[in-house]
């Protein structure tokens, strides 16, 4: 909530458009009224869109009437765990979600082509990377594992396609928990993926 509020503030001051790519197993679109768990970790996207306690919605000088994000600026990718009330609210608010069903059927490439469409040179691209986006087989070191996430290759393609746009301007990495990791493999994978996100490529491509 804090970092994206700050990014949104920056974009407003500079006159930049903002696109948020939300890589996560969870939509994080619960509100205090909808949440089954009461867990604030499930609410950041709703808060950023103006739905939540005034103290949080107001971070960065925003308000419920003038929130940090509009739903149409957001693309959620890899989603596979959404609570019933939250699901309805996602639809009502018109969030664009490329869930695992979509990725299974259409492929990561097509999902990312759509998620990255219509970026231009005035767009600030923010990536919010919750490590539980990844399949727990390759990334066990997170608090809330959800089976059926992107494979190593799908995650690499996702990061490489973001890098290819040349528009990445800010990044959050969340939920990596070394106490739950297995021989540091999740942390090393996160570094590997962030290298790709920052443009590291194999010899097969010239630049």
Q: Which residues bind Mn ion (CB under 5 A)?
A: 24-26, 130, 132
By C-beta, is 11 or 190 nearer to Mn ion?
Answer: 190
Shorter beta-carbon distance to Mn ion: residue 96 or 172: 172
Min CB(83)–Mn ion separation in Å: 12
Residue 127, both tokens: 């990536």
**Sign of CA pseudo-dihedral 168, 115, 59, 87:** negative
CB of 17 to Mn ion, least distance (A): 26
Work out how close the CB of 25 gets to Mn ion at its nearest, in angstroms, rounded to a whole number.
Answer: 5
CA distance 173 to 18: 18
Where would I find the H helices in 122-205? 152-165, 185-197
Asked if 74 contacts 18 with a C-beta cutoff of 8 angstroms, the reply is no
**β-pairing verdict for 123-130 and 17-23:** parallel
State CA 127 to chain mean position distance. Answer: 6
* Helix boundaries (H) for 76-184: 84-93, 100-106, 108-115, 152-165
Report helix angle 152-165 to 108-115, nearest 10: 30
Q: What is the CA radius of gyration of the chain?
A: 17
- Give the nearest distance from C-beta 168 to Mn ion in angstroms: 20
Strand partners, 17: 123
Q: Which residue is nearest to Mn ion (CB)?
A: 26
Minimum gap (Å) between residue 7 Cβ and Mn ion: 19
Residue 164 C-beta: closest distance to Mn ion, Å:
25
Nearer to Mn ion, 24 or 154 (CB): 24
Task: Considering the complex, state which of residue 11 and residue 44 has its C-beta at the smaller distance from Mn ion.
Answer: 44
Shorter beta-carbon distance to Mn ion: residue 25 or 47: 25
Cβ nearer to Mn ion, comparing 8 with 142: 142
């Amino acid at each position: 909530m804090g970092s994206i509020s700050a990014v949104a503030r920056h974009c407003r001051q500079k006159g930049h458009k903002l696109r948020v790519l939300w890589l996560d197993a969870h939509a994080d679109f619960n509100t205090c009224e909808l949440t089954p768990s009461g867990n604030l970790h499930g609410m950041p996207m709703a808060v950023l869109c103006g739905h939540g306690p005034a103290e949080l919605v107001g971070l960065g000088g925003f308000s419920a009437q003038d929130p940090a994000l509009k739903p149409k600026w957001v693309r959620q990718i890899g989603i596979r765990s959404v609570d019933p009330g939250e699901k309805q609210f996602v639809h009502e608010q018109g969030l664009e979600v490329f869930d695992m069903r979509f990725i299974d059927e259409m492929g990561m490439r097509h999902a990312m082509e759509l998620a990255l469409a219509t970026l231009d040179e005035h767009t600030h691209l923010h990536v919010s990377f919750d490590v539980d986006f990844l399949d727990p087989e390759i990334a066990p070191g997170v608090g809330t594992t959800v089976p059926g996430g992107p494979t190593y290759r799908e995650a690499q393609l996702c990061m490489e396609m973001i890098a290819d746009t040349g528009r990445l301007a800010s990044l959050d990495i969340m939920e990596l928990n070394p106490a739950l990791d297995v021989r540091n493999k999740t942390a090393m994978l996160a570094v590997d993926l962030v290298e790709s996100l920052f443009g590291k490529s194999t010899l097969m491509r010239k630049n």
